[in-house]
């Protein structure tokens, strides 16, 4: 068989398989969405590609159609100034940056300095360590939440907005019945701390994504669009699991979990995106922690672009 014909047939087979995996997701009428929001990608999704070729990966992200990028505090030996120049050259907006909490505590002035050069609008607290989480040590949680407010006030004075990015563990009830997630924000002035809602973890925790977005209307400038497929019930959170199977799903004795490109999982993304617009989101940010469905990291985030284009959002 001619090699070009063989490659064409294999491509067609892959396309059919991907469509089958994403079946059941119908594009709504264009008028369903009142506007378009800029769409970025959390670069953690393509971290191994960045490590191998930082500029080349940014270039591919731009060519896919993404308007901006959200960093995660790792530049693989490149200076922040160089990264900013590349973004400017490629027409990518560096709108946000996930900065580890310990870095903010140890030297918030350095964090402000670096992100001033990078030119982001949002600085994000991405992950709360286990000792600080609600339901573990109430006093430590209270202290951590207070520290978030202090940092938020300082970065706001420098021209940034501090956001909190959730996982599932925030959605537990405190002794007084308050949801841990809600306590994080009710304990701080809104101008010092706002939300970056990760819809995958919100859904995984058993919360209604749209109700959560509505509850924080006007305070969710960035929405993390992340899809997933869950079978059964895991005994621990997927990111806490040690074993990852050959197909990049995470499994234990109770079930399996797999990150998916947008539109290929179980989150009702159309409904979530519409609600994000209604509550005043400024950015939609695609994230896929691990590749799946036979796609590599770059192909996974490209597949999410295809889905968003099918909704006439890109």
Band of residue 255 on the pLDDT scale cut at 50, 70, 90: confident
Mean pLDDT of the chain: 89
Upper half-sphere CA count for residue 274 (Cβ side, 13 Å): 13
* Statement: residue 20 has pLDDT above 70: no
Complete DSSP assignment for 218-272: TS--EEEE-EEEEEE--SS-GGG---B-TTS-EEETTEEEEEE-TTSSSS-HHHH
pLDDT in tens, 3-17: 444 443 444 444 444
Beta bridge partners of 98: 124
pLDDT of residue 302: 98
* pLDDT at residue 4, rounded to an integer: 41
Q: What pLDDT score was predicted for residue 24? A: 45
Nearest to 61 by CA among 314, 309, 305: 305
Beta pairing, strands 222-225 & 250-252: unpaired
**With contact defined as beta carbons under 8 Å apart, do 83 and 115 qualify?**
no
Q: Looking at the predicted structure, is the pLDDT value of residue 267 above 50?
A: yes
Domains and CATH numbers, the chain: 28-310 (3.20.20.150)
The pLDDT, as a whole number, for residue 5 is 43
- Please give the pLDDT value at position 9: 43
CA 14 centroid distance within chain: 26
- Would you place residue 260 in the very low, low, confident or very high pLDDT band (cuts 50, 70, 90)? very high
What is residue 8's predicted lDDT score, i.e. its pLDDT? 38
What contacts 30, CB < 8 A, 6 or more positions away? Answer: 312
In whole angstroms, give the CA distance from residue 5 to residue 194: 53
Looking at residue 314, its pLDDT comes to 93
Give the residue ranges of DSSP H helices in the chain.
Answer: 3-21, 47-52, 54-64, 80-90, 101-118, 138-157, 180-186, 199-204, 209-215, 269-278, 297-310
**Tens digits of per-residue pLDDT, 146-182?**
999 999 999 999 999 999 999 999 999 999 999 999 9
pLDDT digits (tens, 9 = 90+) for 53-75: 999 999 999 999 999 999 999 99
Evaluate if residue 216 carries a pLDDT over 90.
yes
pLDDT of residue 234: 74
What per-residue confidence (pLDDT) applies to 291? Answer: 94
Q: What is the pTM of this model?
A: 0.89
For residue 300, give the nearest of 257, 268, 243, 258 by alpha carbon. 258
Read off the pLDDT band of 300 (50, 70, 90). Answer: very high
210-222 exposure pattern, b = at least 16 Cβ within 10 A, e = fewer: bebbebbeebbbb
Q: Which residue has the tokens 């709360």?
A: 128
- How large is the average pLDDT for residues 246-264? 79
- Name the nearest CA neighbour of 71 among 29, 104, 30, 120: 120
Percentage of the chain beyond pLDDT 70 is 85
Q: Rounded distance, CA 165 to CA 184, Å?
A: 11
Q: Is there a contact between 76 and 54 (Cβ–Cβ < 8 Å)?
A: yes
């Amino acid at each position: 068989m001619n090699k070009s014909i063989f490659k064409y047939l294999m491509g067609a087979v892959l396309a059919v398989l991907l469509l089958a995996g994403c079946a059941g997701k119908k594009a709504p009428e264009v008028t369903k969405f009142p506007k378009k929001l800029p769409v970025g990608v959390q670069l953690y999704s393509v971290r191994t590609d960045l490590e191998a070729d930082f500029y080349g990966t940014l270039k591919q992200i731009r060519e896919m159609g993404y308007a901006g990028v959200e960093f995660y505090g790792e530049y693989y030996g490149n200076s922040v100034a160089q990264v900013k120049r590349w973004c400017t050259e490629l027409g990518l907006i560096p709108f946000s940056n996930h900065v580890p909490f310990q870095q903010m505590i140890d030297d918030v002035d350095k964090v402000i300095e670096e992100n001033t050069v990078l030119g982001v609008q949002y600085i994000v607290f991405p992950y709360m360590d286990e000792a600080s989480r609600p339901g573990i040590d109430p006093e430590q949680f209270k202290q951590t939440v207070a520290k978030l407010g202090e940092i938020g006030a300082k970065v706001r004075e420098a021209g940034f907005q501090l956001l909190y990015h959730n996982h599932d563990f925030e959605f537990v009830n405190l002794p007084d019945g308050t949801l841990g997630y809600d306590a994080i924000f009710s304990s701080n002035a809104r101008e010092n701390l706002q939300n970056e809602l990760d819809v995958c973890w919100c859904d995984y925790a058993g919360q209604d994504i749209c109700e959560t977005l509505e509850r924080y209307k006007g305070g969710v400038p960035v929405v993390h669009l992340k899809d997933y497929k869950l079978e059964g019930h895991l005994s621990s959170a997927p990111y806490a699991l040690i074993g990852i199977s050959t197909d990049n799903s995470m499994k234990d004795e109770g079930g399996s979990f797999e990150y998916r490109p947008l539109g290929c999982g179980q989150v009702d993304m159309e409904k979530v995106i519409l609600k994000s617009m209604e509550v005043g989101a400024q950015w939609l940010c695609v994230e896929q922690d691990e590749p799946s469905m036979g796609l590599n990291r770059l192909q996974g985030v490209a597949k999410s672009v295809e889905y968003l284009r099918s909704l006439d959002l890109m």
